[in-house]
Structure 1
Amino acid sequence: MPEINFFTEEVNFELKHKKIIRQWLHDVSASNGQTIDALNYIYCSDNYLLDVNQQYLNHDYFTDIITFDNRDDLSAPISADLFISLDRVKDNASKQDAQFEHELHRVMVHGLLHLLGQNDKSPEEQKEMTKREEDSLSLLHI
């Protein structure tokens, strides 16, 4: 089984249903013809992720997720660090009238889909990303 880990920085948070979520992420990856070597989800605050965004990407804005692909060869098993701002997830869930856990799972799979090659720069890519997020979320049974 792949290494899928959950960490926190500057927040007090415990992910629920870790075993089920690990299997779900593995299944999403496998259904896209990829395997996972190591996924590290790091849950953090807005300010922590803003610092990461500024330091590593030269971006000066809040975001819900930043994904760092650690592979040199994209055909290799997935190895990545995914930083998720719980503040942004909570805010996005409120704006979309969604449950926090649902929005968190959407953001988690969003990062994985990027690692699987899905982009979301153009309106067409955004539409496809949303469809793939919804399809992936339908596989999660908690």
Structure 2
Amino acid sequence: MNLEIDILDETTSITEDQFQLTKEVISKAAEMEGLTGPIEISITFVDDERIKEINRDYRGKDTPTDVISFALNEAGEEEVQIIDPEGPNVLGDIIISIPRTIEQAQSYEHSFERELGFLLVHGFLHLLGYNHLTDEEEKTMFSRQEEILNAYGLKR
């Protein structure tokens, strides 16, 4: 598998080790999901103000959140699916609020890295079509998240 991960840290607070963790967690998730061929994904780390703006503009929710995913392979009712059969499979974008990551890590009493890994995998699975709108979907998605995080070594 050829996986290209573009990472942008708008907060300038992510360490080199956390950049490496980001790449490794996404790679493990892609491997465990059986993805093949050239794949591209974009990950952006933002502050609460920026994620609130994105959440408001694209989801109609005027509040900050922890992670937002924009899947490029899911065509909605008014969207046109664009896939270049010759090019890489561009999965989409994951946007993570670093202040929310810190707050949630403290709230759940685990490390920043564990929470970051959780949000990365959560966003990644959304890009692949996983969802948690029903109890059954939530059970499936959250179970898969734990499997991936445990396989990587980010256990609770």
In the alignment, does 2:66 pair up with 1:64?
yes
CA distance in 2, matches of 1:108, 1:46: 17
Describe the superposition over 1:86-115 as per-residue Cα deviations: whole angstroms up to 9, x where unpaired: 111111111111111100001001111112
Contact 2:25 2:121 in 1 (8 A): no
In the alignment, structure 2 segments of 5+ residues that lack a partner are 74-80
Percent of aligned pairs with the same amino acid: 27
In structure 2, what is the equivalent of residue 123 of structure 1? 135
Please state whether the residue corresponding to 1:52 is helix, strand or coil.
helix
Contact 2:32 2:148 in 1 (8 A): no
What RMSD, in angstroms, separates the aligned Cα atoms of the two structures? 2.4
TM-score calculated relative to the size of structure 1: 0.85
Alpha carbons of structure 1 residues 112 and 15: separation in structure 2 relative to 1, 3 Å: farther
Contact 2:25 2:117 in 1 (8 A): no
Alpha carbons of structure 1 residues 128 and 103: separation in structure 2 relative to 1, 3 Å: same
Deviation (angstroms), 1:70: 2.1
Contact 1:24 1:139 in 2 (8 A): no
| Structure whose alpha-carbon radius of gyration is higher | 2
Alignment of structure 1 residues 41-80 onto 2, 5 Å: 41-71=43-73, 72=81, 77-80=89-92
Deviation (angstroms), 1:78: 4.1
The number of equivalent residue pairs is 142
CA distance in 1, matches of 2:112, 2:61: 26
Contact 1:11 1:45 in 2 (8 A): no
CA distance in 2, matches of 1:79, 1:129: 18
Contact 2:11 2:46 in 1 (8 A): yes
In the alignment, does 2:3 pair up with 1:2?
yes
In structure 1, what is the equivalent of residue 77 of structure 2? none
CA distance in 2, matches of 1:60, 1:19: 32
Runs (4+) of structure 1 exceeding 6 A deviation are none
Further displaced range: 14-23 or 32-41: 14-23
CA distance in 2, matches of 1:61, 1:20: 28
